[in-house]
């Protein structure tokens, strides 16, 4: 079993290396969200039941366990560190953007609300009715913020 896990880890690292090399070869500026991955992997805090001492309310720990496993399996932290190392080695500009509101802020009018993200795949602004694929919309917001940060430092 350990040999299989090692093989998967090597395949993931190889994929990260190849993808990072392609990005560095294709782009002069690389912008990523400055995600606190360790915080995202933390266990949810127990919710105590005030009416029954020693008992707890459901806190979504089972769903969080599945999400944690998915985040860990994808190797986000490993990919970002490999991408950063390759970018610095190639002399590419590297910008980390604050992740707050990147998926909730409308690129058309600037309105930021959690309700704008209708589903995992759909973004629809409650103010101006602008619609877009949610991940592509968030990526454009991240790029816009990164370009603004890069312009300030350049």
What pLDDT digit, counting tens, does each position of 83-132 carry?
999 999 999 999 999 999 999 999 999 999 999 999 989 999 999 999 99
Lowest mean pLDDT among 1-10, 27-36, 70-79, 135-144: 70-79
Whole-angstrom Cα distance, residue 53 to residue 22? 56
Please state the pTM of the whole predicted model.
0.80
pLDDT at 154 over 80: no
Q: Are 85 and 77 in contact (CB under 8 A)?
A: no
How large is the average pLDDT for residues 65-75?
82
Q: Which residue has the higher pLDDT, 9 or 61?
A: 9
How large is the average pLDDT for residues 11-37?
96
Query: What's the confidence (pLDDT) of residue 55?
Result: 85
State how far Cα 92 lies from the chain centre. Answer: 21
Query: What's the confidence (pLDDT) of residue 66?
Result: 82
Alpha-carbon separation of residue 92 from 18, 52, 73, 80 (angstroms): 17, 58, 28, 14
pLDDT at 80 over 90: yes
Q: pLDDT (tens digit, 9 = 90+) per residue, 30-62?
A: 999 998 887 778 888 888 888 888 888 888 888
Per the listing, tokens 């629809």 go with 124
Q: Which two tokens stand for residue 79?
A: 């990919």
How large is the average pLDDT for residues 130-152?
95
């Amino acid at each position: 079993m350990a040999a299989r896990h090692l093989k998967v880890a090597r395949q993931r690292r190889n994929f990260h290396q190849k993808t990072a090399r392609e990005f560095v070869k294709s782009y002069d500026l690389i912008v990523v969200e400055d995600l606190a991955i360790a915080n995202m992997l933390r266990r949810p805090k127990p919710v105590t039941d005030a009416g029954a001492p020693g008992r707890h309310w459901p806190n979504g720990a089972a769903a969080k366990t599945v999400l944690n496993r998915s985040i860990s399996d994808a190797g986000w932290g490993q990919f970002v560190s490999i991408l950063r190392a390759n970018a610095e080695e190639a002399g590419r500009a590297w910008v980390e953007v604050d992740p707050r509101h990147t998926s909730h802020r409308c690129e058309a009018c600037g309105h930021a609300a959690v309700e704008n993200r209708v589903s995992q795949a759909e973004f629809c602004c409650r103010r101006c009715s602008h619609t877009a694929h949610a991940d592509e919309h968030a990526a454009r917001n991240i790029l816009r913020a990164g370009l603004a940060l890069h312009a300030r430092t350049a």
